[in-house]
Amino acid sequence: MRLDQGVYAELDRRLAPVDAARLAAFPGDRPDRQPVHTCYVPADAVVPGLAAGWGTAALAALDEHGLPDLGLAPALLEQVLPRVRAKLATEPIEDLRVDAEDGYRGTADAEDDDVLRAARALTADPAVGRVPPSFGIRVKSLEAPTRHRAVRSLDLFLACLGECQAAADASLPLRSVVTLPKVTDVEQVRAFLPVLEALEHAHGVRLDLELQIETPQSVLGPDGAATAARMVHAAGHRLIGLHYGTYDYSASLGIAAAQQSSDHPAADFAKHVMQVAVAGTGAHAVDGSTNVLPVGPRDQVRAAWRLHAALVRRALEHGFYQGWDLHPAQLVTRYTATYAFFRAALPAAAERLAVYLDRRAGGVLDEPATARALAVLVLRGLDCGALDLAEVRSEGGPDRADLDKLAGRRPGDS
């Protein structure tokens, strides 16, 4: 070696700020469990016991109509269905969003009362029903006609949530998710952050932020830059996800109503921009919804289930592990498709992780990045109930500590 040590020192001096900036901007995955879906329920339809009611309705639909052929192997379906039934009975909704935006049909005069009633219903759930592990509210956009209404509804919702929890000694966590729809400019995100800080201080809560990507401007700006990426880094650590708005985005591009779907090529473009924008930041890219609901006669319900299951499976294959559900019966295919995906993937994932950890030769030579992705896959299956650790170990996979280490889940409060 003939290089002077000063060369190394100068290299470190120049790149140390770059290292620090990259770590701040891309801290890695959160330790929190990511829900497999978000259920959007209009504010005026949120009642005590809503989650348990959705689970009961989903089980009733399954019993009444029977699951159609979803292309799953009989042995796999035999493993999945009991788990789906148990999930619907114990934790039917993983993430609930009170909707005061497009799904809400109430008048401006009624919104105060409906938002307050929804907050009271959520605080009643520990006593009367299943409590979703996470919940929050979607307010109106920050465009001029609705921005004051958005902040007012959020303020009322949080105030009532805190007061009702205190009065009832409810065990809900003092943490909520705020979904901001129809974002068109990075400055809207920046302007919203001090509002969230003020609300946190006023109500003693922790607020996570989601941004809905449902306008062309939020994907590509007038300067040709990916606006979504700028929004992600403007929001910083508070941001937990970018959610794709299937129908607003499609309509804004002039796509005919019959072709508006989350598997349209235009949707793929927007969602993959989102996916790249959040990579390494700890936020997630989230798939949108289908408005084809499993209601009506059996043939119609089963057709809607086949469509929904195919869209869920496709999203999972594309790396989108969370989507929207709008109707209780959609939970049937949300969990069936999701559980089948993780269970089908387990044997190969466990074997490849074992080979990687043992540093022995196998049929596939995996690099650290792939081992990390495999570990994350198994952890997601464990988190949602598709898998249990005993099964992972019986397939030769690692224990939980090794999975967490391989996945690179950063420490923090869940």
pTM, full prediction = 0.92
Cα–Cα distance measured from residue 84 to residue 288, given in angstroms and rounded to the nearest whole number: 22
Query: Where do the domains of the chain lie, and which CATH numbers do they carry?
Result: 37-344 (3.20.20.60), 346-407 (no CATH)
Q: Is the sign of the CA dihedral 256, 216, 266, 223 positive or negative?
A: positive
What is the pLDDT at residue 167? 61
Low-confidence residues in the chain, pLDDT < 50: 412-414
Tell me, letter by letter, the H, E, C secondary structure of 23-54.
HHHCCCCCCCCCCCEEEEEEHHHCCCCHHHHH
What is the pLDDT at residue 287? 98
Q: Whose structure tokens read 């639909």?
A: 61
What is the pLDDT at residue 413? 39
Tell me, letter by letter, the H, E, C secondary structure of 137-168.
EECCCCCCCCHHHHHHHHHHHHHHHHHHHHHH
DSSP string covering 178-223, please?
A: EEE-S---HHHHHHHHHHHHHHHHHHT-EEEEEEEE-SHHHHS-TT
